[in-house]
Amino acid sequence: MSVREIAGTTVHFDEQGFMSNPDEWNKMIAEILAAEIGITPLTDRHWKVIEFCREDFEERGDSPTLRRIMKVGGVPTKELYKLFPKGPAKKVAYVSGLGKPSGCI
């Protein structure tokens, strides 16, 4: 586990690099994490996906998989790959302050 100071907040990360405590997350942290992985700026469409993932996590206790984001979140596959290239489920979980989705390799 590692700890970083981001936007004035102490943030804990697991061994895979994902935030280990979703309660430490805020929108400023999301902007910084997104920029670190080359996703900038975060548009309204990015925020729609991020907010869906955070709400789904609150309800289910796990980061949503790509399939769940598509089916339940209503975001088409092509759009997800455009918003979060090369591994959208992992990248949106990272930016959303959630752990790696259990369905991801």
Distance of CA 83 to the CA centre of its chain: 12
Taken in order 11, 21, 14, 28, the sign of the CA dihedral is negative
Of residues 40, 65, 104, 105, which has the active-site annotation? Answer: 104
Helix segments in 6-60, DSSP class H: 27-36, 44-60
Q: What count of Cα atoms within 13 Å lies in the side-chain half-sphere of residue 14?
A: 12
53 given a catalytic annotation: no
> How many whole angstroms separate alpha carbon 66 and alpha carbon 75?
10
Catalytic residue numbers, as ranges: 104
